Amino acid sequence: MAESTRDIGNRGEDLAAAYLESKDWLLFDRNYRFEKAEVDIVATDRNYIVFVEVKFRADTYFGTPEEHVTPQKEANIKKAAEAWIYERKMDTAVVRFDIISIVQKGNEAPQITHFEDAFR
Residue by residue, DSSP assigns 91-112 as TT-EEEEEEEEEE--TTSPPEE
Please, what's the b/e burial string for 69-88 (b: 16 or more CB within 10 A of its CB; e: otherwise)?
A: beeebbebbbbbbebbbeee
Looking at the chain, how many residues does it have?
120
Is residue 98 packed enough to be buried (19+ CB in 10 Å), middle (13-18) or exposed (0-12)? buried
Specify the CATH class of 5-119 in words: alpha beta
Over residues 94-102, mean pLDDT: 97
Over residues 34-40, mean pLDDT: 95
CA 83 from chain centre, in angstroms, equals 16
Sorting pLDDT into bands at 50, 70 and 90, what band is 18? very high
Pairing of strands 26-34, 37-45: antiparallel
pLDDT at 82 over 80: yes
Sorting pLDDT into bands at 50, 70 and 90, what band is 5? confident
Least confident of 10-14, 32-36, 83-87: 10-14
Q: What local confidence, expressed as pLDDT, does residue 2 receive?
A: 64
Sorting pLDDT into bands at 50, 70 and 90, what band is 1? low
Sequence spans of domains, the chain: 5-119
Mean pLDDT score of the chain, rounded to an integer? 93
